[in-house]
């Protein structure tokens, strides 16, 4: 019984008529290889069906072949599409993600950033707003860092360049607010979320309200269902009850839906509610939540590309990549009740 021998890097070198070291340079994507020799190596790889040994490549480059993905709360469904985009892109360049939920690790007294560094990751993608700024500043002197869906902490040190990939939060919040205004609402409350992203969404909301000559009302709403419920319940039982609520994210909006239900307010006939992130929860038919599509998948893809480039020593200057936002209208918004 004969066996099929797996082609080696030596076989590729022989077929292409080059040295093994030059084949290694091609596999690493070294820009110093001439186009003619690169083409010869690529052709030999295809003809032989050679599969590069990713582990050997990583060891040869003195890398772990892993990157850390720091999440601020794994329960947030916004992370699902972002992780899908990031992990698929990382896989194409031979990098494997290591996920750490900072909310969980902090509860047990462990620094999530230090935990990733102990695993010798080659870089870190920070997903969403985080409280680990100081630890990330220390980490940035060791590994490259990319921020996805957040601006914090943008200042990681004098000699550190960090890439940022975000949604157009100002336009997204403005579009959600304009939608309510176009439906005829004049009493529109915004439930504000945390960090710089929260501030930008407030800015978009205020700009839309100002353009329409309306008085803005902003209240702290957090980013969880529980905080959204508490904030919405306060504004819906207070004086000057709004006829529309624009929430920081889908979870806060779902909390607002629950608050309206508990107060016997019919959505959208008595109060319209808009979320943000267009997560799978917004698409559930029973909820059918109007929400802002923020290009989460594209954010994940671009963040992974930036990190892979930085790991390879490319991209010295800091870069900011912004993904456009759009509104997806469903059943939680309609014209305000007649007075």
16: domain CATH number is 1.10.260.40
| Same domain as 178, residue 216 | yes
| Same domain as 100, residue 70 | yes
Q: Which structural domain range is residue 193 located in? A: 169-293
120: domain CATH number is 3.40.50.2300
Closest residue by Cα to residue 124 from 106, 108, 137: 137
For residue range 17-67, list pLDDT tens digits in order: 988 777 777 775 666 678 888 888 888 888 888 766 544 454 445 578 899
How high is the pLDDT of residue 42? 85
| Same domain as 237, residue 138 | no
Domain annotation covers residue 329 = no
Secondary-structure percent of the chain, ordered helix, strand, coil, rounded to 5: 45, 15, 40
By CB neighbour count within 10 A (0-12 exposed, 13-18 middle, 19+ buried), where does 8 fall?
Answer: middle
Question: What percent of the chain has a predicted confidence (pLDDT) above 90?
Answer: 55
Q: Do the beta carbons of residue 303 and residue 165 sit within 8 Å?
A: yes
How high is the pLDDT of residue 29? 60
- The pTM of this model reads 0.78
For residue range 71-97, list pLDDT tens digits in order: 877 778 888 889 999 999 998 888 999
- The total number of structural domains that make up the chain: 3
**Strongest mean pLDDT among 26-30, 172-176, 220-224, 307-311:** 172-176
| Same domain as 182, residue 155 | no
Domain annotation covers residue 116 = yes
| Same domain as 309, residue 281 | no
How high is the pLDDT of residue 1? 42
For residue range 250-281, list pLDDT tens digits in order: 999 999 999 999 999 999 999 999 999 999 99
- Measured CA to CA in angstroms, residue 54 lies from 4, 16, 24, 58 at distances of 21, 21, 12, 6
Domain annotation covers residue 249 = yes
Find where tokens 């710089």 sit: 196
How high is the pLDDT of residue 58? 44
What the block records as the tokens of 180 is: 């309510």
| Same domain as 288, residue 173 | yes
| Same domain as 229, residue 128 | no
Q: Do the beta carbons of residue 188 and residue 214 sit within 8 Å?
A: yes
How high is the pLDDT of residue 76? 83
Domain annotation covers residue 46 = yes
β partners of residue 291: 275, 328
Per-residue pLDDT band at 339 (split at 50, 70, 90): low
Q: How far apart are CA 316 and CA 112, in angstroms?
A: 26
Better pLDDT: 334 or 154? 334
For residue range 112-163, list pLDDT tens digits in order: 888 888 888 999 999 987 777 778 888 887 888 999 998 877 665 545 678 8
By CB neighbour count within 10 A (0-12 exposed, 13-18 middle, 19+ buried), where does 137 fall?
Answer: middle
Per-residue pLDDT band at 293 (split at 50, 70, 90): very high
How high is the pLDDT of residue 5? 65
| Same domain as 220, residue 183 | yes
214-234 burial, b at 16+ Cβ within 10 Å, e below that, comes to: beeebeebbbbbebbbbbbbe
Domain annotation covers residue 35 = yes
What the block records as the tokens of 259 is: 């608050």
| Same domain as 200, residue 114 | no
Predicted confidence (pLDDT) at residue 201 exceeds the cutoff of 70: yes
Domain annotation covers residue 1 = no
Mean predicted lDDT score pLDDT of the chain: 87
| Same domain as 148, residue 108 | yes
| Same domain as 302, residue 287 | no
Domain annotation covers residue 71 = yes
| Same domain as 283, residue 252 | yes
Domain annotation covers residue 60 = no
291 φ, ψ to 5°?
-150, 160
Q: How far apart are CA 196 and CA 31, in angstroms?
A: 38
Pairing of strands 326-328, 290-293: antiparallel
């Amino acid at each position: 019984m004969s066996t099929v021998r797996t082609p080696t890097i030596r076989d590729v070198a022989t077929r292409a008529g080059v040295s093994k070291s030059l084949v290694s340079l091609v596999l690493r994507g070294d820009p110093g290889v001439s186009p003619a020799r690169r083409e010869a190596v690529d052709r030999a790889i295809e003809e032989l069906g050679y599969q590069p040994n990713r582990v050997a490549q990583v060891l040869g480059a003195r890398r772990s072949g892993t990157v850390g993905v720091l999440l601020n709360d794994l329960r947030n469904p916004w992370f699902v599409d972002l992780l899908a985009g990031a992990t698929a892109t990382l896989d194409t360049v031979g990098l494997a993600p290591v996920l750490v939920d900072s909310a969980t690790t902090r509860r047990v007294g462990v620094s999530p950033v230090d935990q990733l560094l102990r695993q010798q990751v080659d870089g870190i993608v920070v997903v969403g707003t985080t409280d680990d700024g100081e630890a990330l500043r220390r980490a940035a002197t060791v590994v490259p860092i990319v921020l996805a869906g957040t601006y914090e902490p943008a200042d990681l040190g004098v000699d550190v360049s960090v890439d940022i990939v975000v949604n157009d939060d100002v336009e997204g919040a403005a579009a959600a607010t304009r939608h309510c205004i176009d439906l005829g609402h004049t009493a529109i409350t915004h439930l504000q979320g945390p960090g710089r992203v929260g501030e930008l969404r407030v800015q978009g909301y205020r700009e839309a309200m100002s353009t329409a000559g309306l008085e803005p009302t902003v209240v702290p709403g957090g980013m969880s269902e529980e905080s959204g419920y508490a904030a919405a319940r306060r504004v819906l039982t207070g004086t000057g009850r709004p006829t529309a609520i624009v929430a920081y994210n889908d979870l806060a909006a779902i909390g607002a839906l629950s608050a309206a239900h508990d107060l016997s307010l019919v959505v959208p006939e008595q109060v319209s509610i808009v979320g943000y992130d267009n997560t799978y929860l917004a698409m559930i038919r029973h909820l059918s939540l109007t929400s802002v599509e923020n290009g989460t998948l594209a954010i994940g893809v671009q963040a992974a590309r930036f990190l892979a480039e930085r790991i390879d020593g490319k991209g010295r200057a800091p870069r900011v990549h912004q993904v456009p936002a759009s509104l997806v209208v469903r059943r939680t918004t309609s014209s305000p009740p007649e007075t």
